[in-house]
Amino acid sequence: MSAVGVPARHKNVNRAEVCDQNFIEFVKGWSGRSVAAAPALDAPVLPGSRCSRRDFEALFESQLISRHLDLMARVLRVQNKVFYTIGSSGHEGNAMVARLTRHTDPAFLHYRSGAFMAERCRKLPDMDPVMDSALSFAASAQDPASGGRHKVWGSKPLWVIPQTSTIASHLPKALGTAVAIEQARRIGHTLPVPQDAIAICSFGDASANHAMAQTAFNAAAWTAYQKLPAPVLFVCEDNGIGISVKTPNDWIHASFSARRDLDYFQADGLDLAAGYAQVANAVDHVRRTRRPTFLHLRTTRIMGHAGTDFEIEWRSFEELMAVEATDPLLRSTAIALEAGLHTRDSLLAMYEALRARCFAAAEEADRRPRLTTLAEVMAPLAPYTPDKVAAEAARADYGERREAAFGGADRLPEKLPPRHLAIQINHALHDLFCKYPQALLFGEDVAQKGGVYTVTRGLHKTFRNARVFNTLLDETMILGLAQGYANMGMLPIPEIQYLAYFHNACDQIRGEAASLQFFSNDQYRNPMLVRIAGLGYQRGFGGHFHNDNSIAALRDIPGLVVGCPSRGDDAVEMLRTLAALARVDGRVAVFLEPIALYMAKDLYAPGDGEWLTHYPPPNQAMPLGEGRVYDGSASGQPPGASPGPSDLTIFTYGNGVPMSLRAARSIAATHGWQVRVVDLRWLVPLNAAFIAAQAQAARRILVVDEGRQSAGVGEGVITAIVEAGAGARPLRRVVGADTYTPLAGAAFLVLPDEADIVAAADALAQADVAAA
């Protein structure tokens, strides 16, 4: 295809206008020869091509729809009728991937996927890619993908799972979905898609360098190396540039063409006639072999990264002209004219008709309602149906499976003597696996070894490798797998070995799993229960990686639920509620396990056994947000009891609970105070009403937070107290220092202890004296 000349007058105009005019001038100036008669619908559009006329005509229209959506967005953005201008121009060849795959193949798409979506819409009747896209561009509340919360490519009926970041963070969950498709057969789970479905994941050449992309490629190869199926099609749409940074020439081919166990295919995304067979070969390969496959799709990028990218400021005019000459629509135009599918006049008429259709849809979308209240915006973020969750958490209709798993009716955990936290969590996990046949537990060392602290011991032996298994040592991929299993209707229970390790992979929860309900308007969900061992005070296995008391990264994630038990019975009831929350409302939850309390048996004195608890019967669960209040006993008040007056109320969680209970005895003896200890139990979201009620009944308040002084849970507790009007009471915080945790005994210098709590109470007493 010859380069298209661009008059000098175009040097100072919007490049979108240039590309638009290029197309028109190319059609008008076309001087090639058409065949005598157009081919039949099922005949090759050009001799030797595997792309039929029928295929080509559909693909070409999808390309043109995508282009006119881009042009429309650039024009109407300045009128505040459209709010997104990252376009698909130059990438329209990805329509071939859509045509050659099925609408039941889960697709995770990057933002240059307009043609893919237009083409996939053909798979089902009554789908309108133009109006649906216009509603999304306009941030309309009627946008069928996100309900106006973001411009995303997504569709529930078309199995396009919305992505927002798309800078490689979607690759791990795409691979996880592919693995889940195969895992379902091994556990007898009924998939929501056909058993031979594949996962599709598209991204750019620049994103291929991202750590999250590389971890997905590595995990895919790691899986295939072990002869385990992972039917994912990685589609690298290589346009040679990332915003303004050029990809080294031939880098993608050099980097990926010879990777072991990541099967490599190339295709020309600029030429439908040539590229169609190449894409078909890749799709056929991944569906047939069930192996991870890398499709290197040649594309280009015209009209800049987005509407605000004025390429002429950093790219030479000659280079811009050369890039615009590779516009795939020009090649498709030449094919249409050469094959006799159009005359120049009919093609221009089609082009302008699609322009009018896109602009009309955009104008109509601008008249549709937008989100206007905070309640509307947040509606899909954190759905919660308490009655249904409570009923599911208390459901105990799996008695036979329980007896088989625990070795008989007389060995059920509720019939055993009191046990410590680690054993009760272990029993609760066995229980959940009996209750939910679709539950999977996985992570580092969780299978035969039973975890670093043996919390998962016996699960692998009872439920076998299809449901309890080790992963590679990669937290990003562990959480990516969890999202994949959730996509396919399973209940993933991934383990992150230490809280410090979660920080390596935080975006898989913050940017991906927890955001999906919000950005899909609750059409897609990532139900999961993430177990994380953490917090401080661990002896003999120290350092900041094993004593991580920073949960700020968790508290900052919208929609996330974080529970933190301090004793065994609480842990059991909390796990049941979290699992029910995932199953009923699709929520993402973290179960934060205090390592130092795993084996704790005693509370006040060696051998007293007062931190051992009985196992709650299977129909007993803890409501979300319910704290436990200790008022002079180790068992605490009955749930929901009205708070009576106290001289001092201590708010705390995790390790702070038994520590505060011990300190409370000393404080009561010294000052004659009635001391109440409040275990928050639920750290995200904090139950502000519960905190306020307890604070209102207190004369003095201590907040004991083993986290750091900055960004700790205690800040949220104090905010709830102050906002409830209880902040006038004498109040102090006992918190950890703003530092990393050192090794050995020095670790306890940076964490609060019982003496600190007693000293804070003494300071409150002295303040009373001074005030009197």
Q: Taking the mean position of all CA atoms in its chain, how far away is CA 433?
A: 24
Name every residue whose Cβ is closer than 8 Å to that of residue 112 and which is 6 or more positions away in sequence. 86, 87, 88, 90, 91, 94, 204, 237, 299, 301
Name residue 469's beta-bridge partners: 442
Query: Contact, 213 vs 203, CB < 8 A?
Result: yes
Q: How would you list the strands of the sheet with 588-594, edge to edge?
A: 468-470, 439-443, 491-496, 528-534, 588-594, 561-563, 682-684
How far apart CA 428 and CA 726 sit, in angstroms, is: 38
- How is residue 351 written in tokens? 């082009």
- Sign, CA dihedral 354-355-358-364, equals negative
- Collect all residues with Cβ–Cβ distance below 8 Å to 319 and sequence separation of at least 6: none
Task: For tokens 């401080």, name the residue.
Answer: 536
**Closest to 340 in 3D by CA, of 25, 30, 68:** 30
**From CA 540, how far away is CA 576, in angstroms rounded?**
32
By CB atoms closer than 10 A (0-12, 13-18, 19+), residue 416 is middle
Strands of the sheet containing 107-108, edge to edge, are 107-108, 199-204, 232-238, 293-298, 263-268
Copy the structure tokens of residue 607: 């051998």
DSSP per-residue letters across 726-763: -TTS-EEEEEE-SS---SGGGGGGSS--HHHHHHHHHH
From start to end of 215-349, where are the E strands? 232-238, 241-242, 245-246, 263-268, 293-298
Taking residue 656's Cβ as centre, other Cβ atoms within 10 Å add up to 31
Catalytic residue among 110, 150, 342, 546: 546
The verdict on whether 10 is a catalytic residue reads no
Look up residue 167 and give its amino acid. I
- Measured between its terminal Cα atoms, the distance across the chain in Å is 93
Strands 241-242 and 245-246: antiparallel
Amino acid, single-letter form, for residue 772: A
Find out whether 495 and 236 touch, Cβ atoms under 8 Å.
no
Helices 754-771 and 656-671 meet at what angle, rounded to 10?
Answer: 40
Q: Are the C-beta atoms of residues 432 and 579 closer than 8 Å to each other?
A: yes
Reading the block at residue 491, the tokens are: 């209940």
> What is the largest distance, in Å, between two alpha-carbon atoms of the chain?
107
Residue 44, SS3? strand
Tokens 């011991």, residue located: 457
Helix ranges, 29-142 (H): 53-77, 95-100, 114-120, 129-137
- 203, β-bridge pairs: 236
CB 514 within 8 A of CB 522: no
Tokens in use for 215? 């971890």
Sign of CA dihedral 705, 709, 711, 717: positive
At 588, which helix (H) or strand (E)?
A: strand 588-594
User: What are the residue numbers of the active site?
Assistant: 546
